[in-house]
């Protein structure tokens, strides 16, 4: 959810099964309350929905919060994970996978950069991330002018005599 949807760890910590819904033929996270108490809808890639389904089925989760504590004995507790616990899991598995230092927020920035590189519009990335200002989204992307692939080249206009 952090990488596939660009969620903040605090948003992932409050995610419930009721947040997952279909809108316009695709799965989304609805009524997600983010920073500044702003509510938004976030599109969910099919692979993230498949992972969500696999987790909730394996953990026997049918209601309440999605991300829950797993005790050392391997059983899933009813207690939801905190934002800090999500951070700790990301850091632990990043190191274990050889990524070195990786913060949970790096996954959110990576979502933005991959979406932009894939052709998503800046405004759509802003909406997904829940940024109040487009300038915040631009900072995530380190947007620089691309003179080789300039916007004026795709206008489809020609000068005729």
Q: Give the pLDDT confidence of 19-42 residue by residue, as tens digits.
A: 999 999 999 999 999 999 999 999
Domains in the chain, please, with CATH?
9-104 (1.10.443.10)
**Following DSSP, what letter does each residue of 19-74 receive, concatenated?**
GEEEETTEEEEEEEE-GGG-EEEEE--HHHHHHHHHHHHHHT--SSBSSEEE-TTS
Count of alpha carbons within 13 angstroms of residue 139, beta-carbon side: 7
pLDDT of 94 reads 95
Among 23, 26, 35, 64, which one carries the catalytic annotation?
Answer: 35
pLDDT of 69 reads 87
pLDDT of 157 reads 82
Q: What is the pTM of this model?
A: 0.84
* pLDDT < 70 regions, the chain: none
Instruction: Measure the CA–CA gap between 120 and 90, rounded to whole angstroms.
Output: 26
Among 8, 9, 49, 116, which one carries the catalytic annotation?
Answer: 8
Instruction: Calculate the CA 19 to chain-centre distance.
Output: 14
pLDDT of 16 reads 95
pLDDT of 56 reads 93
pLDDT of 74 reads 77
pLDDT of 71 reads 81
Instruction: Measure the CA–CA gap between 46 and 66, rounded to whole angstroms.
Output: 17
Let me know if 49 is a catalytic residue: no
Let me know if 8 is a catalytic residue: yes
């Amino acid at each position: 959810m952090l990488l596939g949807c660009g969620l903040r760890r605090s948003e992932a910590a409050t995610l419930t099964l009721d947040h997952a819904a279909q809108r316009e033929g695709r799965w989304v996270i609805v009524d997600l309350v983010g920073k500044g108490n702003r509510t938004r809808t976030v599109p969910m890639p099919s692979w993230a929905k498949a992972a969500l389904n696999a987790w909730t089925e394996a953990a026997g989760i049918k209601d309440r919060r999605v991300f829950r504590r797993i005790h050392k004995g391997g059983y899933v507790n009813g207690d939801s994970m905190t934002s800090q616990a999500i951070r700790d899991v990301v850091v632990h598995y990043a190191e274990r996978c050889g990524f070195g230092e990786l913060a949970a927020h790096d996954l959110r920035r990576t979502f933005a950069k991959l979406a932009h590189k894939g052709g998503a519009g800046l405004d759509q990335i802003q909406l997904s991330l829940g940024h109040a200002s487009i300038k915040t989204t631009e900072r995530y992307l380190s947007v620089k002018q691309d003179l080789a692939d300039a916007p004026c080249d795709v206008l489809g206009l020609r000068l005729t005599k």
